[in-house]
Amino acid sequence: MPRQYRKPVPKSQKEISNDLVNPYVNPENGETLGNPNIPSDFRQFTPDSQKGVDHNRSEKLSSKEDKYKPLQINLLDIDEAVMYYFENVISPFVYQNGERIKVPLLYHSPERFKTMQKDGFLRDKSGKIMLPIATFKRDTIDRKRNITRKLDANDPHLYTFWQKAYNAKNAYSNFNVLNNRVPTKQFVANVVPDYVTLTYSFIVQTYYVEQLNKILEAINYSSYSYWGDPERFKFRAAIDSFATTTELNQGQNRVVRSSFTLKVHGYLVPDVVQKDLQAIKKYNDKSKIIFGIETVGSSAEFVEKTNQSSPTFLPQPGSGGGGTGIDPATVTYLNKNIQKLGTYFDPTTATFPCGWLTAPPGLPATSLDNFTLFVNGTLIEQAAVISFTQLGGVTTLVIDPSELGFSFDPTDEIIAIGKFDC
């Protein structure tokens, strides 16, 4: 039987990268944990993960019927920004024979460069010298490594994102309004760009030095500003120096020329296959589930609220499912919500002239969760509360100004609504 040879399969870039990483060895038990750059749950490589085809399906949302275009910024966009700003914003011109002539800008193609090197100027199709004129070409692209990086281009970890104005998952209904349902937010994500510095070489030629001076003055005035189309992209540009040359050789035309270097600080988001396969394009925010207690008539019930499904009513433990046999003290406690106006003490502290109700047996102890706090009609989130305590019939509120965004003022109206005992 002839021997069958298996065709070799080359390693993927992810396999090559993982082979170069030394596995971490636990000094206590000598256990090898694998690649330290991979979370502990995924350190045991599978064939799919080694080939780079593993992915989280929850992050792969369809872009069908989406009207937005994925963000792409390429070198041509930066070239167009430079040309647009020069022609439409700087718009240099000269006066010649009593006429106002706009200075055209051409890209310095190799053919044009060879002609200018040989003759010293450009000619049109009829052989006429084209002056005044400006030409430019892109020389270098330098990577800026001190701003940000994707960490791994084949598996990016850093993203920029913005929220979509409309999400089809948020269907309107009266139930959503009555139950204060929080809409689901959807975000469009894009990998962080590659920040680069592009260098362009410009050459400006005219008949006379007076004409050249006027052009250089206009260009120099626009240095260190943002060049580009306001409807598209704008990039910061800088010009440090101008070199001016005037040549008048025997038997040749006079050449008045100036050359300068333009540095543009730009960024690139290319359209590549690796980005489309691995990078997320959009995602939904996480849903919140809140468990609270409500009263219906004389019965207490636990109510489950979620922004994804309708509330589910469950009977209170010990009620027998019918809501009978509820302790009157429990019903009174659940129904009681008193509003109190606070007194300013200092920029981070306010007091209320009341203590708290004692929770009946079977219910959680009274705490900050049983109160809602407002300052000038604005809700104070619990994350901004350092402490909310009672002592001797007085309740004290202490806030974190850095989390809240401001501190108390003597003129503020501070209100608390909840289980006050007064």
Domain ranges in the chain? 13-49, 68-286, 287-332, 336-422
Render pLDDT for 122-155 as a digit per residue (tens, 0 to 9): 666 665 667 788 889 899 999 988 887 776 777 6
Higher pLDDT, 121 or 78: 78
Work out the average pLDDT over 264-282.
77
Average pLDDT, the chain: 76
CATH topology of domain 68-286: STM4215-like (3.30.2000)
pLDDT over 90, % of the chain: 21
| Residue 179 near residue 305 (C-beta atoms within 8 A) | yes
Biggest CA-to-CA distance, the chain: 116
pLDDT surpasses 60 at 390: yes
Question: Given the structure tokens 């994804």, which residue do they identify?
Answer: 308
Stretch (H or E) spanning 351: strand 349-352
d(CA 218, CA 22): 58
Residue 59 confidence (pLDDT): 60
| Residues whose CB is less than 8 angstroms from the CB of residue 286 and which lie 6 or more positions away in sequence, other chains included | none
Measured CA to CA, the distance from residue 289 to residue 269 in angstroms comes to 37
**Mean pLDDT lowest for which of 85-89, 302-306, 371-375, 392-396?**
302-306
| 75 vs 325: which has the higher pLDDT | 75
Say if residue 318's pLDDT is above 50: no
Comparing 23-37, 197-211, 383-397, the range with the smallest average pLDDT is 23-37
Residue type, 101: I
- For residue 61, which of 165, 189, 193 has the smallest C-alpha distance? 189
Element containing residue 178 per DSSP (H, E): helix 174-178
Instruction: Inform me whether the pLDDT recorded for 397 exceeds 70.
Output: yes
Residue count of the chain, please give it. 422
